Structure 1
Amino acid sequence: MSVLATTALYSLIIVLGALLGAVGVVLNERATHMVRFLAFAAGVMLGAAFFHMLPEAYAGGGWWAFALMPAGFVFLLVLERYLVAHAGEDLPGDHMSSHGRPAQQAGQVLGLTAFLGLSTHTLFDGIALGSAVEEGVGFMALLAIVAHKVPSALSLASILKSEGRSRGAILMLSALYGAMVPAGALLYFVFDAVLHFESMAPKALSFSAGTFLYIAVSDLLPHVHRHGKDQPGRNVLALFVGLALMFLLARWVGHPGHPGH
């Protein structure tokens, strides 16, 4: 398939994954192993960044791969900390929020900020997907994004449900959240076509690897640490399983143009 067709197919899979997480909440199904799944997702994202995206970015862009990876990390940190609310905040208390507002009103604000914060991440996931597909490691980016998006969509739907939103509204917002992936991929391809930078794909891939690293170490792992203290060994194992999966895929599948993998 062409790069655009592959990106469209992968985007559809990711959107369906986001909807699947939301449907689980709408149908009142509880994810009993959520923390363990988040640990696994963190391992997959770290593995995708270090074993697939960064090596491919270095092969195509040289030194810039190492310069732009921390740039992606810092950019998303600044964007999240100072421009959008952190989507991983806990739900407000039963009666009053920390700002003295009624819990329902605070919950409605949290639902919108969680949607905006998670959607911002997802937009950059789309940019990562577009550049990864163009560089030949799109399937690895797909695995990492899906592993992250399903539990994130479940969390977003849980927040929206807690503030009393209807099933239709929850599914619509979850679909919009997932749709940020094709929007981000389209944004990448538009910039690539307009700017005509031959080396844009590896540089964008390196930058995206930095955003994957940020999501794993700043969002996923702190949540696992806070809420997974009852079974830390299993959560660490889940993290290493995610890392091992991506490492083995790097060794067995290899990258186009790198037959020695």
Structure 2
Amino acid sequence: MHLLTWITIFTVLGGVLSIIAASVFLLVPDKHHERLLPHGISFALGALLGVAFLDLLPHMFEQAGEQQTKSLLVTLLAGILVFFLLEKLLLWRHCHAQDCEAHIHAHEDRRTHGHQPAGTLIVFGDAIHNFVDGVLIAAAFLTDIQLGIVTSLAVTAHEIPQELGDFIILLQSGYSRGKALFYNLLSSLGTLAGGVLAYFSLAHIHDALPYFLAVAASSFIYVAVADLIPTLHKKTHARSTLQQMLLILAGISLIALVQHFVAGLEGK
């Protein structure tokens, strides 16, 4: 089988399998969503921070040279500021289409005021992350087919908790379950795009990989800090705070466990 065929199959398979596993939330009846979503947001916060700080940033520094450290940190900072401006632009765009006074309260009533910008930002960040995963899968296949298969399995494993977190954020942002699944599937095509592009021009893409990782990390950090944490702060009771902390830690721990599993698969 041609090497490009291997890359195409496993970049598509990894993205689709991770989303199918994460979309188990679709099985939850609608009447339970209001009760479960706040808990899901806490878990999603932990998963996003875990992916950013335990996966993306370590890989970013691992692939970069010492001289790139400062420029990568500048890219990370710039990414956070760009996502801040992007969210502002999304809010302004919505205000042209509806009453701005009402739109200010969109976070309090997502059904009345449409989709929150966090959903758009998380899809964008996930697409970049998936693109980088596709490049890594292609690089592994170009080295050795067996290594490529193992790397694909590792990527799928660490994508599952992140995709679950993304799916919950899209639901919280006002997307229907069908649309949330569709946009998750759409962003997963970034894996295929990264794999195919890397096959034809890996040498040119490889040097830019750390910067892609920095941008992806900045999107996850921004959504976690700017959108999810303020949502959780609306509940101030000690019991709610304890539940939130436990679920945040559960999200981080799951990412850490998956990282340990991935390291075992890769023989590190």
Taking structure 2 as the reference length, the TM-score comes to: 0.67
Q: CA RMSD in A?
A: 3.9
Q: Is residue 39 from structure 1 mapped to residue 56 from structure 2 by the alignment?
A: no
- SS for the counterpart of 1:226 is coil
1:6-51 Cα shifts (integer Å, max 9, x gaps): 33234324654686556646x4443533222211221111111111
Q: Within 1, Cα distance between the matches of 2:216 and 2:260?
A: 22
**Which ranges in structure 2 are unaligned for 5 or more consecutive residues?**
93-98, 137-150
Q: Is residue 74 from structure 1 mapped to residue 78 from structure 2 by the alignment?
A: no
Residue 52 of structure 1 deviates from its aligned partner by: 1.4
Residue 213 of structure 1 deviates from its aligned partner by: 1.1
More deviation in 54-63 or 180-189? Answer: 180-189
Q: Within 2, Cα distance between the matches of 1:244 and 1:18?
A: 17
1:61-81 Cα shifts (integer Å, max 9, x gaps): 232443322232222121112
Residue 205 of structure 1 deviates from its aligned partner by: 1.3
Distance verdict in 2 for CA 1:227–1:51, change over 3 Å: same
Distance verdict in 2 for CA 1:8–1:244, change over 3 Å: same
AA matched with 1:211: S
- The corresponding residue for 1:128 is 129
Q: Is residue 177 from structure 1 mapped to residue 183 from structure 2 by the alignment?
A: yes
- The corresponding residue for 1:58 is 61
Q: Is residue 152 from structure 1 mapped to residue 169 from structure 2 by the alignment?
A: yes
Percent of matched pairs sharing the same residue = 19
**Which ranges in structure 1 are unaligned for 5 or more consecutive residues?**
87-95, 161-169
Taking structure 1 as the reference length, the TM-score comes to: 0.69
Structure with higher helix content: 2
Q: Within 2, Cα distance between the matches of 1:23 and 1:251?
A: 29
- The corresponding residue for 1:226 is 234
More deviation in 9-18 or 36-45? Answer: 9-18
Distance verdict in 2 for CA 1:185–1:250, change over 3 Å: closer
Conservation of the 8 A alpha-carbon contact between 1:119 and 1:177: no
Q: Is residue 237 from structure 1 mapped to residue 240 from structure 2 by the alignment?
A: no
AA matched with 2:85: V
Q: Is residue 215 from structure 1 mapped to residue 219 from structure 2 by the alignment?
A: no
Q: Within 2, Cα distance between the matches of 1:36 and 1:107?
A: 17
Distance verdict in 2 for CA 1:97–1:58, change over 3 Å: closer
Distance verdict in 2 for CA 1:224–1:131, change over 3 Å: same
Q: Within 1, Cα distance between the matches of 2:81 and 2:21?
A: 28
- SS for the counterpart of 2:233 is helix
- The corresponding residue for 1:89 is none
AA matched with 2:227: D
Q: Within 2, Cα distance between the matches of 1:66 and 1:140?
A: 28
Conservation of the 8 A alpha-carbon contact between 1:68 and 1:206: yes
The number of equivalent residue pairs is 232
More deviation in 218-227 or 31-40? Answer: 31-40
Q: Within 2, Cα distance between the matches of 1:133 and 1:225?
A: 36
Q: Within 2, Cα distance between the matches of 1:67 and 1:5?
A: 36
- SS for the counterpart of 1:231 is helix
Conservation of the 8 A alpha-carbon contact between 1:54 and 1:65: no
Q: Which of 11, 18, 23 is matched with 2:15 structurally? A: 11
Conservation of the 8 A alpha-carbon contact between 1:18 and 1:178: no
